Amino acid sequence: MSNPISIEPPARSTVHASFVVNDETREAAIAPHKTLLEVLREDLLLTGTKHGCELGECGMCTVLIDGQPVLSCLVLAIAATDRAITTVEGLASGPSLSPLQRAFAELGAAQCGYCTPAMLLTAQALLDRTPHPTREDIRDALSGTLCRCTGYLKIFEAVELAADRAGSADA
């Protein structure tokens, strides 16, 4: 009888990578095939970024890269190593919520909590490039972030409230 063939599982290689997340440099040994979403949540323990469809359809995994909303489930983490990444954990300053987060809280726009990080980051990117957006601008900007519960009205109103307050502060 012939000896059984032993099949070794492939070695799991990792690469050392350094990320700039929320203005902080973070190091991790990561599997090169991992997405940015996986590395943020599993290696850097930044679980504010939510895991949805992993197909680029729901928008739940949105983070900002160099200020632009990006679906982190579609980006290889190693492609983001020299970029500035912002997750929802980077919006607040210590215990102080950002003006947009305060507006969401006051108007009850953070409904289920699942899509809220993506809504906040996408809206923040909009306000950064368009400080006085129209309702249409807000609707367009948030159209790729799917809310499955009570709808978008409070979210739109919260973005408008934050923009109005920023406008009054500038005046």
Chain residues in the site for ligand FES (CB under 6 A) = 51-54, 56-61, 71, 73, 111-112, 114-115, 147-149
Backbone angles phi, psi at 153, to 5 degrees: -55, -50
CB nearer to ligand FES: give 28 or 61: 61
72 in Cβ contact with 47 (< 8 Å): no
Cβ at position 112, least distance to ligand FES in Å: 4
CB nearer to ligand FES: give 139 or 166: 139
31 in Cβ contact with 16 (< 8 Å): no
Alpha carbon separation from 86 to 65, 107, 124 (Å, rounded): 6, 24, 11
Cβ at position 33, least distance to ligand FES in Å: 16
Hey, which residues does 76 pair with through a beta bridge? 35
Cβ at position 80, least distance to ligand FES in Å: 14
